[in-house]
Amino acid sequence: MSRRGLGRGLESLIPTEYIEEEFDVTADIDEQVSALRELKLAEIEPDKNQPRKIFDEVELNALAVSIAEHGVFQPIVVVKAGVKYKIVAGERRWRASKLAGKKTIPAIVRTLPAQNQLELSLIENVQRADLNAIEIATAYAKLKTQFNMTAAQIAERVGKSEASIVNTMRLLNLPEAAKKQMVENGLSEGQMRPLISAEPEIVAEVVEKIVGEGWSARRVEQYMTELKAKGRTSSKHTVRVAGTYEKEVAEFGQKLGVKKAEIAISARGSGKIVLRFANEEELKKILGA
């Protein structure tokens, strides 16, 4: 009997393209054993053992257009293989960069021992009892993005169910303020999971109740069910814009000198632009722009 997976629909809701260093438990060791370089595309080759062989041409061409205009936001991950470099993660970005006519691409260069060391370190970290759910979710996302591991493979390595891995990673969809509140106040995954698809203002409202009034996971679920019955919630009301203003927002981010700018607009017309920065120095540059 074949095992039914979770499907692309649910996994597509997991934001793994950008790993936030604030919650990355192996950021320090990664910096020690890795090197960020600009490599020639001709020096890089795909991994012949990579299970993914087919790439959607429409999506690839769309990414190529974006890369031609704005560059590659997330470096690919490679290891040295003879005179060339082998792709560990990011073949789609490498292919799109070639289509865009680029000659080089930003790449995180690791040695195979370092890659294995990081993978083991990540897996050991997620099994620790003192990590918060956001740090665990970030570790899962890093295993998925930079180690090409599926949710099923991660689940097998850490001894959890595939659904548990996916649900934990989906916490990364929460607004930044909510994630910080979750960490600072020790809020549980059960308390926050019902809020994943809610509008930011509703998330803020409920988090305040959790922190101030000690709402349990069950109480949060009941409240969100009540809101849904009143027609005042959820993923139907929040749309992450992938096309309409994407170019303008990316250009706005480039003017400010940030590597990534994102936009989200609700069905009611309200929205937000998120500017990501790596450290305090970048923040000062943005504020001074």
Rg of the chain over CA atoms, in angstroms?
20
Active site residue 91: yes
Catalytic residue among 38, 43, 91, 248: 91
The rounded Cα 128 to chain-centroid distance in angstroms is 21
- Tokens representing residue 178 in the block: 């909510």
Axis-axis angle for helices 91-99, 57-70 (nearest 10): 70
Could you tell me whether strands 238-239 and 260-266 are parallel, antiparallel, or unpaired per DSSP bridges? antiparallel
Rounded CA-CA distance 182/174 in Å is: 10
Residues 6 or more apart whose Cβ sits within 8 Å of residue 285: 256, 257
8 Å CB contact between 263 and 245: yes
DSSP-derived secondary structure for 234-279? STTTEE--SSTTHHHHHHHHHHHT-SEEEEEEETTS-EEEEEE-SS
Active-site residue list: 91
